[in-house]
């Protein structure tokens, strides 16, 4: 274990599972991801689920997407933008990955296992009532890592974590969503870009993982009442 982070997010805990089953937002919200090619909607990708659709994996492989002309919808993508401190993008391929460079695994109801290039972490959702949760990150390495690899894993974990360039965006988006829900509790909204079905896909243009989770959620909650 390399270290921990903890953040409190003022939103319903299910929004965090939705977040990590939603392949649209990384390319729209996390401009950092898009600019540096770590996650783009047109990366080679796969969405997988267990047989009951509770658990899921968003699997993405960096560096095989098209150039800016192919993703003109994403205005934040600037192929010429560079970092002053290149250590943030000091990514070393490891044999155990296989091909994918990011695998985000949601285990229903409250755990996330993630590999984001060289960083390996779990995140645990700890609800505090229906409108708040603590989000506890644990960052890992391998026992035989070199000191350079440990530093690399920590740097990348910090980059993706609550004080970095990625997860702070998610916490704010969840808070804003929760504020929206509580304004008019009798109102309903429905987004159906990818239809109503639940199925595995070889692309990221679908909300299938979120529908799968709520399909299971309704089944469990109905049996309990």
Site of interaction with Fe ion (CB under 5 A): 170
> Helices (H) and strands (E) in the chain — how many of each?
6, 7
Considering the complex, what minimum distance in angstroms separates the CB of residue 39 from Fe ion?
Answer: 9
Considering the complex, what minimum distance in angstroms separates the CB of residue 24 from Fe ion?
Answer: 10
Residue nearest to Fe ion (CB): 170
Considering the complex, what minimum distance in angstroms separates the CB of residue 145 from Fe ion?
Answer: 26
**Cα–Cα distance, 204 to 218 (Å, whole number):** 24
Closer to Fe ion by Cβ: residue 170 or 207: 170
Cis bond before residue 109 (omega within 30° of 0):
yes
Considering the complex, what minimum distance in angstroms separates the CB of residue 104 from Fe ion?
Answer: 9
**Cα–Cα distance, 52 to 55 (Å, whole number):** 8
**Cα–Cα distance, 182 to 11 (Å, whole number):** 10
CB contact set of 93 (below 8 Å; sequence gap of 6+):
none
């Amino acid at each position: 274990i390399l270290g921990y982070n903890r953040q409190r997010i003022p939103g319903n805990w299910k929004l965090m599972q939705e977040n990590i089953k939603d392949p649209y937002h990384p390319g729209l919200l996390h401009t950092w991801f898009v600019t540096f090619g770590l996650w783009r909607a047109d990366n080679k990708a796969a969405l997988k689920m267990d047989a009951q659709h509770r658990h899921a994996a968003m699997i993405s492989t960096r560096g095989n997407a098209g150039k800016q002309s192919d993703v003109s919808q994403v205005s934040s993508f600037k192929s010429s933008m560079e970092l002053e401190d290149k250590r943030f993008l000091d990514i070393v391929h490891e044999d155990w990955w296989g091909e994918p460079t990011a695998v985000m695994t949601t285990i229903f109801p409250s755990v996330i296992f993630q590999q984001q290039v060289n960083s390996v972490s779990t995140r645990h959702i700890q609800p505090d009532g229906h409108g708040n949760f603590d989000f506890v990150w644990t960052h890992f390495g391998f026992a035989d890592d070199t000191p350079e690899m440990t530093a690399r894993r920590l740097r990348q974990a910090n980059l993706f974590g609550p004080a970095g360039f990625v997860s702070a965006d998610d916490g704010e988006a969840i808070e804003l969503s929760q504020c929206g829900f509580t304004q008019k509790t009798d109102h309903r909204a429905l987004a159906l870009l990818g239809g109503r079905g639940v199925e595995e896909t070889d692309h990221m243009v679908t909300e299938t993982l979120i529908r799968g989770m709520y399909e299971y959620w309704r089944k469990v909650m109905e049996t309990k009442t």
